[in-house]
Structure 1
Amino acid sequence: MIWKNEHICAAAKGAKKNLQDLIEQSNDVFQPSYTDEVTYLGIVGGGPKGFYALERLFAQVQAQTLQQPIVVYWFNESPDFGCGPNYQVDQPNYLLINYCVGNIDAWNREDCNTAVAEQLNLRQWIQKNKRIETEVAPTDYASRALVGCYLQDQLKALLASRPTSIGLRFVVSRVRDIAYQGLFEIMIDDKPGSIRVEHLLLATGHCYHNKSLLANIHAEPKLDNYFDSAYPVQKLNAIPPDEPVGVIGLGLTFIDVVLQLTEGRGGQFNENGEYIASGTEPHIYACSRNNIPILPRGPIYGENRYQLREQTSRYLKGLAQTNQGRKIDFETEIYPLLRQEAQFAYYSTLLSSRDEDEVTKYMHTLDQAQIFHLEDLLFPQIAYAKDQNNAVLSFLEDAIAQAKLGELHSPILAASAVWREATPLIGEIYAHGGLTGKSQAMLEHNLWSAFCRTSFGPPVENMKKVVALAKAGIVHFANAPLKTITYDDAQQQFMINTQQSQLAVNYLIDARIARGKLQDANSALHNALLKNKLIQPFDNDGYQSGGPALHKSGQAITTPLTSDTPLFFYGTATEGTLLDNDSLSRKRNDTASPWAKSIIQQLLHKQKNALHESYSQG
């Protein structure tokens, strides 16, 4: 079952209107006079991580019963507080999350905020608010829009519990610059002057852009037919029907693009899974640097997943402890273990046995050329034919068949689960330069995208749609990996050059998701922070991953000139220093809790000093 907005009662979708009212009220009292009697805080980023940070602050204030007045400025580029752009509630319902509903929970169950009366996970929320009789299974999927409704409804519940000592100001604008002179000076697009706060958390999500795809244009291209980002997908409606469109990237964003250009234009998929065109679709030509599509996956929840062997988990936990005294070499100390675990996952699933001896004996009966290796999963060889669609289609149809079996029955799916299951343990080793710089570079440049492509793919339903579109002759896959893309100014066309052919298209869409690279200045805000010496690049043995240097708490490691600045990062912005920052997880790399605790500690210290001074004067 795929849950969508249409399955939920209207009342559960009303949180957006409540938030709009609060935003309008904030505008009426936007810029109060700064006073030392009030503590001013800032959260930049209105997505799930910003929501979680606000919840942690409320919980800390309530736990300490603080009465000191606090004003929180919460900044977001749009009114979509709580859900952010990824889970915006008005986006099309055919854009799906790639996790089962049973895995999504907006609340911290290990440190509960007792002031919030009803804290629902996504499954409970759907069950409470659904309009149909169907029961909600933890292995069901949902549209991203519905998840946005859930997040905003839970934010509404949080705001109802707001401590009376906290005032909240919603600021709908882009933060363009941040300076620091004892206080943070926050400059936004549509207001003169600045907003001053004492403590600041950045939960800015995906605020990066890729370098231009065009080999013969070095500056950022300003072309009406070039989309340097696919989001919001509604902007792709500007592409006329029947036009040849190049899409670069074959991951999750590629699927969003394809569905927007087809189902988003009135096309339909019938009961047999065939695509019925609306007649308004463009012709889509898709490729990537390696030209290997992302793998779909079946429902993953609870015990319905591959489990790492105990010795593998124990070894990785041991490395994390060893890591306190030395750096770990991913290439020699972790990757060989992953190769062994992937082989065991493959053959134990094939044999339906977790018996080590049985698996080993079976592998000894095979010729070396027959034995499965992790590289067969990460870097498969696609046998391209003259009709390139047949080769990629065959690859995708086999991947769908395996995903339907699930990782408890499909050997290749079991092998693909190894990285996903090992990621939390490897993350403990990776954090804050726990790997050698050389091996961190090797992981991020040689293996990272392949691990993500094989372990964190879309639900089967959406990949089946991609296959149907290819069979309908609307989506065409390249016949070889991409080499270069150039722009013919005279013809106003893009030339896509693969290793075997050249193709001219009238529109080009960059469907890659950028990662933060301070050295490339690919985020305007982070570049401003670097210029103002509020952050410095994370450096691991000379390797710079692209993110800011952070203390274990998530606080920025600044230059001596601005030492101990109360600037914290949470979520995507910590990548390169921390590993795997899932946008909906409350457990992974939680730096919001240390941020909130540091504020409370300072307020308690200030309160104690004030009492001491009062007693002294009395």
Structure 2
Amino acid sequence: MIWKTEHIDQNARSARYAIQQHISESKASRFGDELVVGIVGGGPKGFYALERLFMEMQSQQLTEPIRIYLFNETPDFASGPNYQVDQADYLLINYCIGNIDAWNREAINPEVKQQLNLTQWIEAHQIAGIKPEPTDYASRAVVGSYLQDQLKGLLASKPACAEVHFIVGKVSTISYEHGFHLQLENQHQTFQVDKLLLATGHCYSNASLLQNEKHLLEMPANYFARAYPVHKLDSIPAQASVGVVGLGLTFIDVALQLTEGRGGKFTDSGEYLPSGKEPRIVACSRTNVPILARGPVYGGNHYQLRPKTIQYFKQLAASTARQKIDFEEEIYPVLQQEAHFAYYSTLLQTSDIAAIKAYTDSLPTSQRFQLENLLFPSYAEYDAESNPVLTYIEANIEQARLGELQSPIMAAAAVWREATNWIADIYNHGGLTGESQRVLDKELWGAFCRTSFGPPVENMQKIIALAKAGVIQFSTEIWASMHYDTETAQFMWTNDQDQQSLSYLIDARIARGKLQQANAPLYSALLANGLIQPHSNERYQPGGPALDTDGRAISAPHIASPPLFFYGSPTEGVLLDNDSLSRKRNDMATPWAKHIVHYLIQTHKEIIHENYNGR
């Protein structure tokens, strides 16, 4: 079952109006001497941070006044851009609803009345007459409605001493002098806050795909450097030729927006019926290997690491206090061994090591499973007359339908997903050697994500249908260069075999932070002001700011570190894998909230002490 907005009652989806009312009531002025706290980024992570701050204040029974500013570029507080409530229902989440919970179950806030996970929320508000199962999927708009409804409930439990103001606007620059000064883009208004948390999500840009960019006076209007929000692609005319670079989750969103979003229909038999409004899509990536679909992953219906592998990773994590770990030498071989076991234990339906060894020993070396072949498959074995990309997707869908307990290749693909939490404990805060972290970040990370964190089968079936209908053409040759011809207003896409002329170009890659390349203006300003400095691990710089173990920025050597904290995507490179909806993984909101509450308590004690001594 895929839950869509049409399956949810209107009352549950009306939280956005309560949030809009809260926005309209927010004011920028500062009254009195209360502590002022700022959160830049009002999406899921900003919501989580606000909840943790409330929790800490209430658990310590604080009465000291505090003013909280929550900044977001759009009115989509709690949902953020990824889970906007007004986006199309064919844009899906890539994990089961049973894995989504907006609350920290290990430290529940007793002041909030209804703390529902997504499955419970859907069950409480569904109008389809169907009981939701944790293995169901949902549209991102449904998830956004859930997040906003839970934020509404949180605001109803606000501590009496707190004022919360939602500010719509893009924070463009931040400086520090007796507090942080935040300037909003295209606005004259400046906000001053004492403590600041940045939870800005994916705010980065990729380097241009165009080789002749420096010779252009300005970037062409028919070049989409970012795919989101996908509704902006509606400006592309029907029948236009469109190049899409990237074959991951963003590519799927782009393809569906340009087809189903224009009135095309998918039949139950797996065919696509065009509306006639579609453009012609040519898709490729750096490797031309698309993301793998996967079946539902929840509870015990998936592959799980062997206890000895988990214990090994725990031992490595414990040793990082004494020495750095080499990912290539000490982790990758264990992943290979685990993936090998996952593949053959699933194939033979036995965990007997001797039986597995006897079977694999009987195989020629060239036919034995290798993790590298999963991560970096070759199309050489495919029939020259078939499209290998299409054949690869079809084979993957067949395996994904079987599930990880029946499909050897899907069991092997699950190993990285299952190992991520344990490896993160080793990776975080420079636990790997600098060079091996670079190899993981730059050479392996994309392949691991492509194989382990793919979309539901339904979405890849749609991609197959679009390709068979001739709407999508998969390139089988690695593109060598892309140039823009100003005379013809066309993009020239060349490889070793031929050259294509395209009217539009869409960059469907997700950018990561690169301070060295100034691919996020706000962070470039922070770097210029000395408020942050690049994280460095043995001279390797992943691209994000240097942070301490609480997520606090380590400023330039000549500047005392101000109370500036980071949470979510901006911490990547220091921390591994910051899933946008996870409350458990890399939780920097809790230490930030504890820091603020501790400051308030200490300040209150100092005031009492001063008053006592002054009598």
One-letter code of the match for 2:407? S
One-letter code of the match for 2:74? S
Counterparts of 2:496 and 2:117, CA distance in 1: 48
| 2:363 alignment partner, one of 357, 361, 366 | 366
Instruction: Indicate yes or no: 2:182 matched with 1:186.
Output: yes
Deviations 1:289-332 (A, max 9, x none): 10000000000001111111111111010000011111000010
One-letter code of the match for 1:472? A
In structure 2, the residue matched to 1:453 is 450
In structure 1, the residue matched to 2:537 is 540
One-letter code of the match for 1:185? H
- C-alpha change, 1:219 and 1:439, in structure 2 (3 Å) is farther
One-letter code of the match for 2:361? H
How is 1:85-484 mapped onto 2 (pairs within 5 angstroms)?
85-218=81-214, 221-383=218-380, 390-484=387-481
Instruction: Indicate yes or no: 2:502 matched with 1:488.
Output: no
Counterparts of 2:535 and 2:150, CA distance in 1: 35
Q: CA RMSD in A?
A: 1.1
In structure 1, the residue matched to 2:3 is 3
Counterparts of 1:584 and 1:297, CA distance in 2: 19
In structure 1, the residue matched to 2:65 is 69
| 2:592 alignment partner, one of 572, 592, 595 | 595
Deviation of residue 496 (structure 1)? 1.3
Secondary structure at 1:12's aligned position in 2? coil
Secondary structure at 1:561's aligned position in 2? coil
In structure 1, the residue matched to 2:16 is 16
One-letter code of the match for 1:175? V
In structure 1, the residue matched to 2:30 is 32
Counterparts of 2:551 and 2:496, CA distance in 1: 44
Counterparts of 1:212 and 1:31, CA distance in 2: 41
The alignment of Structure 1 onto Structure 2 pairs a total of residues equal to 613
One-letter code of the match for 1:99? Y
Counterparts of 1:387 and 1:528, CA distance in 2: 53
Counterparts of 2:410 and 2:98, CA distance in 1: 20
One-letter code of the match for 2:28? F
Deviation of residue 182 (structure 1)? 2.4
Secondary structure at 2:214's aligned position in 1? coil
Deviation of residue 386 (structure 1)? 5.5
Counterparts of 1:563 and 1:365, CA distance in 2: 64
Question: Contact (CA 8 Å) 1:307, 1:421: kept in 2 or not?
Answer: yes
One-letter code of the match for 2:194? E
Deviation of residue 616 (structure 1)? 2.2
Structure 2 gap ranges (5+): none
Deviation of residue 224 (structure 1)? 1.2
Deviations 1:77-128 (A, max 9, x none): 0000001000000011000000100000000000111110110000000000
Secondary structure at 2:6's aligned position in 1? helix
Question: Contact (CA 8 Å) 1:392, 1:477: kept in 2 or not?
Answer: yes
Counterparts of 2:589 and 2:319, CA distance in 1: 27
Secondary structure at 1:196's aligned position in 2? strand
Counterparts of 2:388 and 2:435, CA distance in 1: 36
- C-alpha change, 1:86 and 1:337, in structure 2 (3 Å) is same
One-letter code of the match for 2:58? Q
Deviation of residue 502 (structure 1)? 1.6
In structure 2, the residue matched to 1:49 is 45
One-letter code of the match for 2:60? Q
Question: Contact (CA 8 Å) 1:212, 1:218: kept in 2 or not?
Answer: no
Secondary structure at 1:285's aligned position in 2? strand
Counterparts of 1:141 and 1:369, CA distance in 2: 38
- C-alpha change, 1:4 and 1:156, in structure 2 (3 Å) is same
One-letter code of the match for 2:119? R
Moved more, 152-161 or 607-616: 607-616
Moved more, 215-224 or 331-340: 215-224
Counterparts of 1:498 and 1:167, CA distance in 2: 58
Deviations 1:508-537 (A, max 9, x none): 000000000000000010101000100000
One-letter code of the match for 2:437? Q
Question: Contact (CA 8 Å) 1:49, 1:583: kept in 2 or not?
Answer: yes
Counterparts of 2:13 and 2:495, CA distance in 1: 46
Deviations 1:327-361 (A, max 9, x none): 00001000111111111110000000111111111
Counterparts of 1:528 and 1:73, CA distance in 2: 21
Counterparts of 2:84 and 2:519, CA distance in 1: 24
Counterparts of 2:180 and 2:559, CA distance in 1: 11
Deviation of residue 615 (structure 1)? 2.1
One-letter code of the match for 2:14? G
One-letter code of the match for 2:30? P
Deviation of residue 385 (structure 1)? 5.5
Counterparts of 1:219 and 1:512, CA distance in 2: 23
Counterparts of 1:191 and 1:166, CA distance in 2: 26
Question: Contact (CA 8 Å) 2:213, 2:219: kept in 1 or not?
Answer: no
Counterparts of 1:45 and 1:154, CA distance in 2: 17
Counterparts of 2:492 and 2:501, CA distance in 1: 5
Question: Contact (CA 8 Å) 2:28, 2:191: kept in 1 or not?
Answer: no
Secondary structure at 1:560's aligned position in 2? coil
TM-score, scaled to structure 1: 0.98
Question: Contact (CA 8 Å) 1:297, 1:460: kept in 2 or not?
Answer: yes
How is 1:556-595 mapped onto 2 (pairs within 5 angstroms)?
556-595=553-592
In structure 2, the residue matched to 1:506 is 503
Question: Contact (CA 8 Å) 2:288, 2:475: kept in 1 or not?
Answer: yes
Deviation of residue 446 (structure 1)? 1.2
Secondary structure at 2:181's aligned position in 1? strand
Deviation of residue 30 (structure 1)? 2.3
Counterparts of 1:219 and 1:431, CA distance in 2: 41
Deviation of residue 191 (structure 1)? 3.1
Deviation of residue 169 (structure 1)? 1.0
Counterparts of 2:400 and 2:384, CA distance in 1: 27
Q: % of aligned pairs identical? A: 57
Counterparts of 1:446 and 1:525, CA distance in 2: 27
- C-alpha change, 1:218 and 1:385, in structure 2 (3 Å) is farther
Question: Contact (CA 8 Å) 2:283, 2:472: kept in 1 or not?
Answer: yes
Question: Contact (CA 8 Å) 1:485, 1:497: kept in 2 or not?
Answer: yes
Moved more, 227-236 or 191-200: 191-200
Deviation of residue 492 (structure 1)? 1.0
Secondary structure at 1:494's aligned position in 2? strand
One-letter code of the match for 2:610? E
Counterparts of 2:165 and 2:436, CA distance in 1: 44
Counterparts of 1:437 and 1:4, CA distance in 2: 45
